[in-house]
Amino acid sequence: METSRGDTGWRSRRRIVLIAACGAAFVIIGSICWYWTQGPDPAHAARSTRAAVPVSVATASRQDVPIYLTGLGTVQALFTVGIHAQVDGKLQDVLFKEGQRVKKGDVLAKIDPRLYQAALDQAKAHKAQDEAALIAAEKDLERYKTLVIKNFETQQNVDQQQAKVDQTKAAIDADAANIETAQANLDYTDIVATTDGRMGVRMVDPGNIVHAGDQGPIAILTQTEPTGVVFTLPAQTLDDVRDAMARGDVEVAAYDSNNVRLLSMGKLATIDNLIDQTTATYRLKAMFSNEDEKLWPGEFVNARLLLETRKNVVVIPPLAVQRGPGGLFTWVLKPNNTVEPRPIQTSTTTGDRTIVTSGVDDGDRVVTDGQYKLQANSPVTITAPSTATHGDAT
């Protein structure tokens, strides 16, 4: 009896130990399985937790890139003439229409000429009077000379008569000058255009008295074909612009104040002879044929000067250029759709193109959007593929 009870207890303990051993084995096996599937392996953890980052990309390409300098400027007419009276009088007629195109020599307005015509007639009459007096004085002189030979007249009287003749000749010369003055004043009663151009708004109406010394003009005449644009550039660009002029004609494009619409194409005419030390800028003047008159005197424009064209250079969008602790870099897309940061060196950014001198080759795909989520070897998905550039730089 006692032996049976002992065997039963031993078997019970053995069963408990076996069950505990099996449970421990299951725990160990489960831990091992968890370790291999969810354990701390870095590569595996990265593969299981790192999601693909959506990015936009562009392809680097080789292009000929024009390099521009842009400065704010104003349109200046070739000639701007204030139409003034040159003699005093009543403005009798205004013969131009506001905004009318006129030619050099066209009569624009008339001043009452009667007083000036009378002055001219008077000067001519006085000259005729003196000419008649000269004829008489010369005849008297000839008689005196004949008489002095016969000793019927003194040499003194002959000399006095000669002086009278000379004085009359001088008076005739003065009369001729007075006639020229009177004729000029009469001509000035016709106010004429001094150049081709377009008339502005009339500022004096017919019937008003005008004077040669009036400050305000009757109207403004401007010649706009051709026309100029005066603009400024930073002083540090002066040597580059002078080098460009030494190579030949320098092209200048005039855009509107928003720098969007092309108004006209011209050429650089001159560089000012000094630098403004206050603003560290210098002035330039470009000339435009302006046959369509899209450039209007006084208008603000953006003048874009073509400095040079760089041939066959690698370009990427400016959005692809990033700045880090080590300098400039860009994210380059690898064939397995992961990215790597690559150091680059750039030259010039013109519009939507940045010239890359090292670090990126023709055909490399660079990230233009979504960089803030990227790490080295991050997988990516392309959401908006595009080309490196499009359109002209501004």
| Residue 18: predicted pLDDT | 62
User: Same structural domain for residues 4 and 125?
Assistant: no
| Residue 39: predicted pLDDT | 46
Average pLDDT over residues 324-332: 92
CA gap 176, 128 in Å, rounded: 10
Pick 14 or 268 by higher pLDDT.
268
Reference 227, options 199, 195, 193, 266; nearest CA is: 266
User: Same structural domain for residues 252 and 386?
Assistant: yes
Alpha-carbon Rg for the chain in angstroms: 48
pLDDT over 70 at 117, yes or no: yes
pLDDT over 60 at 388, yes or no: no
Average pLDDT over residues 311-321: 92
For tokens 């004949």, what's the residue? 146
User: Of 183, 210, 237, which closes a domain?
Assistant: 210
pLDDT bucket at 136, cuts 50 / 70 / 90: confident
250 lies in which domain range? 51-84+220-394
Helices of type H across the chain: 2-38, 42-49, 114-149, 155-187, 238-247
In a domain, 36, yes or no: no
pLDDT digits (tens, 9 = 90+) for 345-382: 998 888 788 999 999 999 999 999 988 888 888 898 88
Average pLDDT over residues 222-235: 94
Count structural domains, the chain: 3
Pick 200 or 39 by higher pLDDT.
200
In a domain, 45, yes or no: no
CA gap 236, 79 in Å, rounded: 31
CA gap 94, 109 in Å, rounded: 4
Q: Would you say how long the chain is, in residues?
A: 394
Strand order in the sheet with 209-210: 190-192, 107-111, 89-94, 209-210
| Residue 140: predicted pLDDT | 80
Structure tokens at 47: 């593969």
Range name among 24-38, 162-176, 254-268 with the lowest pLDDT average: 24-38
Determine which helix (DSSP H) or strand (DSSP E) holds 327, and give its type and residue range. Answer: strand 327-333
User: Of 155, 189, 210, which closes a domain?
Assistant: 210
pLDDT over 60 at 123, yes or no: yes
Reference 218, options 87, 296, 109; nearest CA is: 109
Range name among 144-158, 206-220, 307-321 with the lowest pLDDT average: 144-158
270 pairs with which residues across the strands? 285
